[in-house]
């Protein structure tokens, strides 16, 4: 294996491993961040499906126990498609009573939904990242042996 090929393969494996480790880490943190958040009864004050550069749903709620109005995120740390936004707009219309999940350490953070379990793809992304690390080790070992 020549130097150029080994370099490109090594850079690709490093970038792929970093990408898959980041995706699995993001999935892990989005589950663990909200798992201890406290459920609160709320009424949806505004639910606006907005389109600009794509579709987005802006929601504010009034928490029943303290009559406080605040914006909420839909689902912490998750990519949501435009179709999902449209479905959620139907699920969370203005005036509907719902349960939100509020951060006990920062009452300005709340979500309409939280993950009940770790994303099943977390393990797949983690294993793919690890396989790219092993591929890089094998490539580098082969390169070192060819240059001895």
pLDDT score at 123: 83
* For the chain, domain boundaries: 1-34+116-148, 36-114
pLDDT score at 97: 94
CATH class of the region 36-114: mainly beta
pLDDT score at 79: 58
pLDDT by 10s per residue, the chain, length 148? 566 777 788 888 888 889 988 888 877 877 777 888 899 999 999 888 777 666 677 888 999 989 889 988 776 555 567 777 778 888 888 999 999 999 999 988 888 887 766 767 778 888 898 988 888 888 888 877 877 7
pLDDT score at 102: 92
Cα dihedral 135, 141, 146, 148, rounded to 10, equals: 170
The token pair at 42 is: 């709320």
Q: d(Cα 116, Cα 121) in Å, to the nearest integer?
A: 14
């Amino acid at each position: 294996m020549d130097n150029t090929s080994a370099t490109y393969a090594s850079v690709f494996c490093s970038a792929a491993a970093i990408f898959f480790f980041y995706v699995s880490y993001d999935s892990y943190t989005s589950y663990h961040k909200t798992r201890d958040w406290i459920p609160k009864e709320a009424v949806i004050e505004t639910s606006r499906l907005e389109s600009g550069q794509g579709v987005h749903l802006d929601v504010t709620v009034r928490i029943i126990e303290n009559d406080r109005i605040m914006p909420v995120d839909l689902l912490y740390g998750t990519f949501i498609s435009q179709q999902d936004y449209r479905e959620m707009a139907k699920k969370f219309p203005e005036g509907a009573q719902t349960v939100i999940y509020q951060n006990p350490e920062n009452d300005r953070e709340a979500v309409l939904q939280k993950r009940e379990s770790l994303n099943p793809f977390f393990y797949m992304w983690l294993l793919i990242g690890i396989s790219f690390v092993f591929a890089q080790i094998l490539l580098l070992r082969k390169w070192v042996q060819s240059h001895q």
